[in-house]
Amino acid sequence: MSIKLGIIGGGQLAWMMADAVNKLGVKLIVQTPSQNDPAVSIAQDSIFAPINDAAATEILARKCDIITFENEFVNLAALSLLEKKGVCFRPQLSALAPVLDKYEQRCYFKELGLPVPEFLALSREQEIELQIANFGFPIVLKARRHGYDGQGTFIIRDIATLSKIINQSQTQFLVEEFVPFQRELAIIAARSVNGEIVIYPTVETFQENQVCRWVIAPAKISQEQSLEIEAIAHKLLNSLQYVGILGIELFLKADGTILVNEIAPRTHNSGHFTLDACATSQFEQHLRAVCGLPLTNTTLNCHSAVMVNLLGYEISQSDYQKQRQQLADIPQAIVHWYGKTESRPGRKLGHITVLSDQDNRNAVEGIIHQIESIWYPPEKICENFPK
């Protein structure tokens, strides 16, 4: 009998599970706010409710064997009551608890002995200037909860701006040192119910205004660095007793030091290349893990791959047919279009992966530039490649 899998969140991350759902014969039921959300079209059944609506999750639980997450902005306290009543969440809620608040997540990493940027939780009772006395500018301010795609992350250059943002908001913040990284890296790893672990090749990611623009797989790093990152992944997965896919974001400094920035307890944008460029996608691997199936091969099936996000740059209801066709005409390109009904600046509308038989950096940058030139108006094209 096929497994009935509930998923909290019906965005593109759930939508990209479509092939794996069919392959593994899983019945998918989504809890998502709107009928227009991408994964509604691939689900057998949908419950239209906000992600953090635990009463809706209780209804979802009655229809499913297992519940997983495409979005971690859930009401953990309310879900815990369901878990106590026997609802099976994978990853289990104890693996989510330490990571939903960015400050608590950082404390967790530090206790595990992982390398992290200097950070502290801002208190509203004390003078801000005193609290950040050891940091210096620029400084990075982050909302402790519900930040994503750079929403809630601010790179700040002076005390006046810092005070203004904090005073105008009720949000709880952490601050951290600005890391002058040479590159940003990410790794996707999975752990099964039996504790088996598989890891994808480390990738290089590039963020502009805190939003991921593109990913290159594999990252050009030393074997030592690669092993160090894999060891970080093992440590995190095992200590959290994690089940499913975990995305880990890292900073690589010019002196070769690696710092952990943050983790995402779900499939991750930096792993979208796996759909086309790896033996098994992160989406299939996640389903395998949470459904109690054995994990499978994570190797690249090409020499290298580049994934470029197609971000909204205007408010529009266009489906961008012409640009999508031009992108699809690039040799060895695969365009994934999420079918969203409205475009807004910064919104992830789709992505494109281009496979390559070589890993010449100039050629890779040329492809990224070609994609961005087709997709964006001239003033939005990113010219800023890390050296």
Q: Is 207 in the site for ligand ADP (CB under 6 A)?
A: yes
Q: Which two tokens stand for residue 372?
A: 């961005």
Q: Is 176 in the site for ligand ADP (CB under 6 A)?
A: yes
Instruction: Quote the least distance from Cβ 214 to ligand ADP, whole Å.
Output: 12
Q: Is 101 in the site for ligand ADP (CB under 6 A)?
A: no
**Residue 184 or residue 284: which is nearer to ligand ADP going by CB?**
184
377: left (phi over 0), alpha (psi -120 to 50) or beta: beta
Which H or E run contains 302? none
Q: Which of 261, 280, 343, 356 binds ligand ADP (CB under 6 A)?
A: 261
- To 10 degrees, what angle do helices 76-84 and 54-63 make? 30
> Whole-angstrom Cα distance, residue 366 to residue 162?
38
Stretch that binds ligand ADP, among 86-94, 176-184, 191-199, 229-237 (CB under 6 A): 176-184
Q: Is 50 in the site for ligand ADP (CB under 6 A)?
A: no
**Residue 148 or residue 313: which is nearer to ligand ADP going by CB?**
148
Q: Is 284 in the site for ligand ADP (CB under 6 A)?
A: no
Site for ligand ADP in 298-357 (CB under 6 A): none
Q: Is 249 in the site for ligand ADP (CB under 6 A)?
A: yes
Instruction: Quote the least distance from Cβ 161 to ligand ADP, whole Å.
Output: 16
> Whole-angstrom Cα distance, residue 350 to residue 29?
23
> Whole-angstrom Cα distance, residue 246 to residue 187?
8
Q: Is 104 in the site for ligand ADP (CB under 6 A)?
A: no
CA angle in degrees (0–180, nearest 5) for 302-307-308: 155
Instruction: Quote the least distance from Cβ 208 to ligand ADP, whole Å.
Output: 8
Q: Which residues, including other chains, have CB under 8 Å from residue 263's CB and lie 6 or more apart?
A: 99, 105, 236, 246, 247, 248, 249
Tell me, what amino acid is at 299?
T
Instruction: Quote the least distance from Cβ 251 to ligand ADP, whole Å.
Output: 7
Q: Is 184 in the site for ligand ADP (CB under 6 A)?
A: yes
Q: Is 204 in the site for ligand ADP (CB under 6 A)?
A: no
> Whole-angstrom Cα distance, residue 334 to residue 30?
26
